[in-house]
Amino acid sequence: MASPIPSVALAPYPRYSEEEMRLRAKALHEALNTRRTVRDFSDAPVPREVVEACIATAGTAPSGANQQPWHFAVVSDPEIKRQIREAAEEEERAFYERRASDDWLEALSHLGTDADKPFLETAPYLIVVFALVNRTDEKGERTKHYYPYESTGLATGLLISALHNVGLASLTHTPNPMKFLNEVLGRSSNERPFLILVTGYPADGVRVPDIERRSLEEICTFY
């Protein structure tokens, strides 16, 4: 059994007044409530260090047994983006033409999506998120990861919030299946593609569906 991890003092948590807590909670909600998924991106460059800082924020997420079972493959190379687009569109065509149920297609219909994914080449960055189901150390010993998908989902949520905080839009794209991402990016089989986070500035004049988020009363129950 592994030895206990040494402890350190917890970094101080500010004890805000109740009024300050309300203001801060409201301000964060108002900021994140402007976040929208977009499918039309500008090709304007984004500083790499900004993306790096956002991914570092994602890496602060909690994880099962603190195993941090995630990897972020950041793609800006035009040729690699082209390969990802071609492979993704092939899977998407199969999805729309053969794999998707009528109910699933009906659920997507109001969003106007189809098999064409030009944003995979237009956006300056594709952040391909992988969930690591296990890890092999330098001695060749394999360690199983617990709750890798849940943990990676938490990290991805922080990443989306961090990107929005600096004025960048994102799109979660999940072609199915996604095994081609391991092949294109040369990632090992223990890394399971979780999603592609398309990242960049929104295109000028971009429009999004006029939809509403569910109310607090619909999504929350206090006991």
Task: Give the mean pLDDT per block of 10 residues along the chain (223 residues).
Answer: 87 96 98 97 99 99 98 99 97 85 81 88 99 91 96 99 99 95 98 99 95 96 98
pLDDT at res. 9: 96
Instruction: Report if residue 220 sits inside a domain.
Output: no
- Domain ranges, residue 42: 37-203
Instruction: Report if residue 222 sits inside a domain.
Output: no
The Cα 173–Cα 193 span in angstroms is 11
Instruction: Report if residue 98 sits inside a domain.
Output: yes
Instruction: Report if residue 42 sits inside a domain.
Output: yes
Contact 76, 164 (CB under 8 A): no
Instruction: Report if residue 124 sits inside a domain.
Output: yes
Tally of domains in the chain: 1
Instruction: Report if residue 18 sits inside a domain.
Output: no
Instruction: Report if residue 30 sits inside a domain.
Output: no
CATH number of the CATH domain containing 157: 3.40.109.10
Instruction: Report if residue 149 sits inside a domain.
Output: yes
Sequence length of the chain is 223
Contact 57, 214 (CB under 8 A): no
pLDDT at res. 119: 98
pLDDT at res. 107: 82
The Cα 105–Cα 21 span in angstroms is 43
